[in-house]
Chain A
Amino acid sequence: RKEVEQDPGPFNVPEGATVAFNCTYSNSASQSFFWYRQDCRKEPKLLMSVYSSGNEDGRFTAQLNRASQYISLLIRDSKLSDSATYLCVVNGNTGNQFYFGTGTSLTVIP
């Protein structure tokens, strides 16, 4: 079983839509969770950390469900500039080993 699994998509949504991505992880001892954004042929960039209580940053909301071992990312009022691949990242048994999902591709259509 993979450490982190994501639906690869692609998700094609119209501008202004709300879209949600889920990511499941296998290690119940994981403590650190992140969402990264990766544009085509570019490096991943940190979008937001995911905290136990959930957190929001503008149009983006991240949630953690420890019981079911998944994290989610909600994007409201999608913009064309949100088109990218979104990577879920979870730490392993040591704080230094992080596992990346394969990414979920989002295209926002005019």
Chain B
Amino acid sequence: NAGVTQTPKFQVLKTGQSMTLQCAQDMNHNSMYWYRQDPGMGLRLIYYSASEGTTDKGEVPNGYNVSRLNKREFSLRLESAAPSQTSVYFCASSEIGTGLTVYGYTFGSGTRLTVV
């Protein structure tokens, strides 16, 4: 089925370890996003990529890096994990229409990350 695929679904890291969250979409969307969701905070944008070859910081980029590998794939890397990065991470994609109209996001199923 067409959509957004994230891996892994669950991960436990020790403080200081690194890991990369993978995301791929097969809807031919130009824009991709990484969000984190914490209780009482809502979803907050970490990084986004408006199109292949570009990436920009969102609301909470510190401690993360991203790579837009190609039009389909957008990865999120934690270089040195901290307990404050314990969260649920969602990747999303969307298309931008005329006048910057966005036709809604499609989200992946999420990665539940715990840093101990």
Contact = CB atoms under 8 A, between A and B. Distances in A.
Interface stretch (A14-22, A56-64, A67-75, A97-105): A97-105
A102 B31 CA distance: 23
B82 interface: no
Interface size class of A (residues with CB under 8 A): 20 to 34
B42 A96 contact: no
Given A32-B101, A43-B108, A46-B104, A97 B42 contact: no
B48 A97 contact: yes
B43 A95 contact: no
A91 B103 CA distance: 12
A44 B107 contact: yes
A98 B45 contact: yes
A71 to B, nearest CB: 14
Given A44-B90, A100-B44, 18 more contacts: A4-B42, A34-B104, A42-B109, A43-B107, A43-B110, A45-B107, A87-B43, A95-B102, A96-B31, A96-B33, A96-B96, A96-B102, A97-B45, A97-B48, A98-B102, A99-B45, A100-B42, A101-B42
Interface of A: 4, 31-32, 34, 36, 42-46, 49, 87, 89, 91, 94-103
